[in-house]
Amino acid sequence: MNRRDFLASLPAALLAPAADALAQTQPSFRRNAPRGFEALPPIGLGTWLTFHVGDDSEAQEQRRQVLARFFAAGGGMIDSSPMYGQAEWLLGQLLPAVAHEGRLFTATKVWTPFAARGPGQLEQSLRFWRVPRFDVVLVHNLVNWRAHLKTLRAWQEQGRVRYIGISTSHAVANDEAARIVKSERLDVLQITYNFADASAEPVMNLAAERGLAVVINRPFDGGSLFGRVGNRPLPAWAMDIDCANWAQFFLKWIVSHPAVTCAIPATANPAHMDENMGARAGRMPDAALRRQMLAHFVGP
């Protein structure tokens, strides 16, 4: 479905929450993150699927517009991976053509079962991105994480990456991720968390308690959340947290979680980029309203 179909003018019917569950104000400027990780805007940009476009010049121009609007709205973190096809290469082609004035915060991953191939993969990612170093590199989906963390620590000591950590996009790996967070010295955890799957909350909380930044991937559950809401309008009380569309409803629920540093929704549509970035502005839900948002989404 086209997300534009889900944009709703708020209905007249009242479903107002109790006064103590009203949204608290959240400034639109950069928020602080754990362990000096970075004062990052809470909405970043993912590139899985969306930036693998081959030689399609029209599609490449559309992605350039996505990047331009991302930075114009104050965006910072862009996340990619060697497993995302041509995404890293396309970023390297497009970023020089987009004004970002020092705001770019680069995040990629190492992804190979072979320890010996990790350094070469990282070197290639640097060439693709056209950057001298990365801000973040993660071991993607925990593949051979012990070996790759050794490589990443060496790169960190050499100043070639600022922060290191692990990522997973599979809930079945959450327990293993928690064990790694407990046993290893890390800076960042990237994990899946959304209305369809909130099972990562325990490891998110653990990571935050240990001073890690927590980055959320798949905040729209690969886009399926929009299909689940269908043509339902936003609840009237969504205006209390300045939500104009379902994308902002989904994202504000995520980034208002006290453990979350940044969410990285992906999009190929410049208009959707505007919607996503709107989630960093205005009021945010408190814990009571977050529960109400989840209940409204799940339904009776």
16 found inside a domain: no
Q: Which two tokens stand for residue 90?
A: 């396309």
- Asked if residues 238 and 10 have their Cβ atoms less than 8 Å apart, the reply is yes
Per-residue pLDDT of the chain (300 residues; tens, 9 = 90+): 444 343 333 232 322 232 233 233 333 334 556 666 667 899 999 999 999 999 999 999 999 999 999 999 999 999 999 999 999 999 999 999 999 988 999 999 999 999 999 999 999 999 999 999 999 999 999 999 999 999 999 999 999 999 999 999 999 999 999 999 999 999 999 999 999 999 999 999 999 999 999 999 999 999 999 999 999 999 999 999 999 999 999 999 999 999 999 999 999 999 999 999 999 999 999 999 999 999 998 865
121 found inside a domain: yes
27 found inside a domain: no
Whole-angstrom Cα distance, residue 203 to residue 6?
32
pLDDT score of 18: 27
11 found inside a domain: no
235 found inside a domain: yes
Question: What totals of helices (H) and strands (E) does the chain contain, helices first?
Answer: 10, 10
pLDDT score of 40: 87
43 found inside a domain: yes
CA dist 15 → 87, 157, 190, 275, 294 (Å): 42, 54, 34, 24, 14
64 found inside a domain: yes
Whole domain around residue 290: which residue ranges? 32-298
What angle is formed at CA 219 by the lines to CA 78 and CA 2, rounded to 5 degrees? 95
pLDDT score of 103: 92
pLDDT score of 34: 63
The total of structural domains in the chain comes to 1
DSSP secondary structure letter of residue 266: B
15 found inside a domain: no
pLDDT score of 262: 95
What's the CATH number where 72 sits? Answer: 3.20.20.100
